[in-house]
């Protein structure tokens, strides 16, 4: 029996999406100066790899921190179905007025999942925009 010992469990999922980095308050030249080719008006895209970390104590009856199937279903329902094969700027309400940087996407994903994960558990999001660029929230 491993009570009172915190364990982190992780579920990996992925989605593909188009986006552009663009601040509507700035002119095109400023957007290009700050965001470079990421502000290309016709969009570009990524294979986003998502790692969701849930930390808590294993339950006495199951030995699970959280059933990973349940976690997978939650991520599918609240994140993947919303963002997969979409244009983040045009097809989602979350990024209508929010720049879809990896940082902002991670915070949005956290907010989408937090209400559905046991409040006794810590939740952390790691989001890979490319195999070489990734962000974490919260830290």
Partner 1 sequence: MRSFYRACLLYTNFAKIFEAMVYLTRVEHFNAAHKLFNPAWSAQKNEDVFGKCANENWHGHNYELYVTVKGQPDPETGFVLDVKKLSEIIKEQVLEKLDHLNLNVDVDFMEGKMCSTENLAIAIWEQLEQLLPGSVQLHCVKLYETPRIFVEYYGK
Q: Which residues bind partner 1 (CB under 8 A)?
A: 14, 16-19, 36-38, 40, 42-47, 49, 84-87, 90-91, 130-131
- At closest approach, how far in Å is the CB of 9 from partner 1? 22
Is 85 labeled as catalytic in the residue annotation? yes
Classify each residue of 22-51 as buried b or exposed e, where b means 16 or more C-beta atoms within 10 Å of its C-beta.
beeeeeeeebbeebeeebeeebeebebbbb
**Considering 14, 44, 81, 85, which one is annotated as catalytic?**
85
- At closest approach, how far in Å is the CB of 92 from partner 1? 10
Q: Which is nearer to partner 1, 59 or 77 (CB)?
A: 77
**Considering 38, 49, 103, 136, which one is annotated as catalytic?**
38
CA atoms within 13 A on the CB side of 103: 4
Alpha carbon distances (Å) from 32 to 17, 20, 77, 99: 21, 11, 35, 14
- The residues assigned a catalytic role are 38, 85, 129
């Amino acid at each position: 029996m491993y009570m009172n010992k915190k364990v982190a469990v992780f579920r990996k999922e992925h989605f593909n999406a188009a986006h552009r980095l663009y601040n509507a308050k700035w002119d095109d030249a400023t957007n290009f100066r700050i965001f470079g080719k990421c502000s290309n008006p016709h969009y570009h895209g990524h294979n986003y790899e998502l790692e969701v970390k849930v930390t808590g104590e294993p339950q006495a009856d199951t030995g699970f921190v959280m059933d990973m199937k349940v976690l997978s279903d939650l991520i599918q329902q609240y994140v993947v179905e919303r963002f997969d094969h979409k244009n983040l700027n045009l097809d989602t309400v979350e990024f209508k007025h929010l720049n879809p940087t990896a940082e902002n996407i991670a915070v949005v994903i956290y907010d989408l999942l937090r209400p559905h994960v046991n409040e006794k558990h810590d939740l952390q999001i790691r989001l890979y925009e490319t195999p070489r660029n990734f962000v974490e929230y919260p830290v």
